[in-house]
Amino acid sequence: MTDVKTSIDEMVKSNDVVLFMKGTKSMPQCGFSSRVAGVLNYMGVEFTDVNVLADQDIRQGIKDYSDWPTIPQLYVKGEFVGGCDIITEMTLSGELDQLFEANAVAFDKDAAEKIRAANG
């Protein structure tokens, strides 16, 4: 399991934004993963997607790594941000914008505003 933890650690730390998800950003395979990937894609965020369905060790390993029981899991600049509910709340409150701004992650502010307007 150490190799998996090392592999996950490298992915999380070598990419600005990483989403561990079921499926891929272009073809999510669960509603929760689809929602988070959809938000990131819509906001124009460049992110690395890791399909946990393709590797059972990564699927369990990421849960152990973050001490978080569910997928998807979003990481920004090496820090665990949260899963679907947390990302949805942060998007609607503007906290996700602030997180991206604080970490110099490029995103489309207008798209973020449109999400909030559509869900407000």
Is-contact 5 13, C-beta < 8 A? no
Residue 41 structure tokens: 């894609």
Contacts of 39 (CB under 8 A, 6+ apart): 87, 88, 91, 96, 115
Q: Is 84 assigned to a binding site?
A: no
- Residues making up the binding site for [2Fe-2S] cluster: 30
- Residues making up the binding site: 30
